[in-house]
Structures are given as structure tokens and as C-alpha cells.
Structure 1
């Protein structure tokens, strides 16, 4: 369910009046098959009991594949209605689908917390414009690893996967804090790396 009960600007104004620090959005981006959802899930399992951390469920106009994705679904019509009602902190489009991060993410960050979300490289300009403090974690993997993971999903044939891997990534300007993680190996290794980054950023939240 989308949280539209609080205006993030109200939380920001209260914190500024009290002189309290704001939090940070950690947005995880990278190519399909890099393992972004798996890494976020790894960290969420270890920090679930700490209310300082909010693991944002993004909204997508495609039903989630429980094996590889973790998001909430809205039809295109419901997504458009939610957008007009102010349910999203930021929205973007990719490959004919609509994506959004709920307003609750901005509320949490402006209240001094740390929010972790699966984002998009192409949407980074909009995300950076919507949150005052953002750390970008760019997850990558070797091409053969990406190809194997994409094939395991069963959504695309070999030709489509090869075309996807040949596609140039979006031209992303590395504004703000940019952190690289190679997730070609064991999930536990990359997961511990991301966990350490999240904990470190929570201590450095402005």
C-alpha cells in the first residue's frame, strides 16, 4: 500500500527548525542481471529490526517475478492515478513500463533515516533532483555472468539477451557519492560489501 499520509516537506521543515540532520537515500542501480534485488534482500535480512533503515518497495507497472524481483504492482491506470494524487517521491519510465518510489521514502530520509531503493541509471537525474542527499551504489557483473542470469529468468531468448548486453549503458553523470560493487562472484561477498557501505553511510548521514 502506498503511504500518502505525510508530506515530506513537512518533515523537512520540522527537522530544519530543530537543527536535526537529514538522512540519505541509497539508490542501487546497474544493468539487468547484476543482482540488485538479491543484494538489497541480503542487506534487508540483516537490518530488518533497525527502524533507522527503510527498504523501499518501488512500484512498477509489471507484476513481480518472485524469484528475481521485489516490487509492488500497479496497473498503468492505477499508477497514473497514484501519480496525480502525489503518492510518489519520484517516477520514471523505461522499456514501456512506469516505475516509482513512494512518498514514504522521502519522508523517512527527511526525518533523518536511511532509505535503500532499487533505482535506474537513466532515472538518476530525477532521483537526485527529488532527494537532497543521495548515495549511488552501481552494481555490475561480468558480461558472461549477466548473460547466464538473464537466461535463467526465462523472459528473453538468446538473441534478445545478446542484444541487451551489446546495448550501451545510459550516459550517467556521476554526481554526488558514487560507489561501485562487482557482483560477479558469490552473493555473500558482495552482500557483505553492500552491508558495510549501508552501515557506514548511516553514520555519515548529513
Structure 2
């Protein structure tokens, strides 16, 4: 049964690590990349585009979803719809900002999942990553609290432990939710 597994969560919660683990251990799940208007980090599955390239692709209708956050543009390509048309399980690194659009576009095929971790661990991960200063990190943590509170109905995966434990939790969730 086709399912778009729409992972959301604060920066630093480990969505990219979870997606990388899924890709390596579950080739039957299709892990989609995002298009983003910045260079990608080594752990990210994304395609870097200039602002102009992104705008051209958006105008051409090459994104099934797109949104803006933190001064950047993000998009998910229309290839997702072809994959879902083949009854695939597709995993994406999504955003709460585009969740409403995702619900409208994908309906019952959408499975929103909130990836979480304790705030102290998130803070440490963000500090270790070194992309932002303390004030920006605290702002991200505040958004994490808002995100968690705003989506009480969305299933959660605690990503505080090992990637293997989080991947096992995701596999159990998909086994329960992706049967025809």
C-alpha cells in the first residue's frame, strides 16, 4: 500500500540520520531527497539549488510540495507521486510548514511522523553541528517545543537512542500502518 512517510522534527533531532539508516537497511523503502537553496551537509540527502534554479523548477511545476523556512526554500519533487503510484513506501524529510499542503495533496496516503528527542540532547547536537550560535539554537529549541505541542495527534518516534532503535520503531510503525 502506497504511503508517504512525512518525517518532521526540530533541526538536530536526527531526521537525516534516521533516513540514512532507512536507506541502508530497507531498500524497499524509497527515501526521497529534498531540493534546498543551500549547500547540503554530508549527512543530508538533498540537492542544492540556487534561488534562481529553485524558482524555475517551482514555476515549471516540478515540486509536489515546497515551502520556505529559515530564509531558505525547500521542495519535494514530483517523482514522489510516481513512486506512490507504484504502491511504494516513500520517506521524506518534511516540514510542519507544509504539512497542511501535504495532507491536501496526499490524503490518506500521508503518514505524518514527528521525530523527537529530549531538549538537552537537541541542544548538544546543534552545538556539535556548529552551524549556529547560542541564540539561534535557543530559537530552534523554542520552535521544537511549539512543534511538539501543536501536533498532539501525530505519531512520534523518540530518536534519543541509537539509530538502530529509532529505525526499529519506524519499521514497527510502518508494519502496523502500511498493510492493505
Q: Do the two structures share a fold, i.e. TM-score over 0.5? A: yes
- Structure 1 pair 125–55 and aligned structure 2 pair: CA distance change class (3 A): same
How far has the Cα of 1:196 moved from its partner?
2.7
Instruction: Please say if 1:203 is aligned against 2:179.
Output: yes
Distance 2:155 2:118 in 1: 17
Once the two structures are superposed, residues 61-108 of structure 1 have per-residue CA deviations (whole angstroms, 9 ceiling, x without a partner) of 111111x32211111100110111111111111111111110010121
- Structure 1 pair 173–179 and aligned structure 2 pair: CA distance change class (3 A): closer
Three-state SS of the structure 2 residue aligned to 1:123 is: helix
Q: Aligned to 1:130, which of 88, 102, 105?
A: 105
Distance 1:172 1:134 in 2: 18
Match of 1:190 in 2: 166
Match of 1:37 in 2: 16
RMSD of aligned C-alpha atoms?
1.9
Q: Looking at CA atoms only, which structure, 1 or 2, has the larger radius of gyration?
A: 1
Stretches of structure 1 that go unaligned for 5 or more consecutive residues are: 1-21
Distance 2:122 2:46 in 1: 21
Match of 1:25 in 2: 4
Once the two structures are superposed, residues 116-137 of structure 1 have per-residue CA deviations (whole angstroms, 9 ceiling, x without a partner) of 1000112100111121310011
Match of 2:68 in 1: 93
Q: Aligned to 2:26, which of 28, 47, 71?
A: 47
Distance 1:78 1:58 in 2: 14
How far has the Cα of 1:164 moved from its partner?
2.3
Distance 2:71 2:136 in 1: 16
Larger helix percent: 2
The aligned runs of 1:54-73 (5 Å cut-off) are: 54-66=30-42, 68-73=43-48
What's the TM-score once normalised by structure 1's chain length? 0.79
What's the TM-score once normalised by structure 2's chain length? 0.89
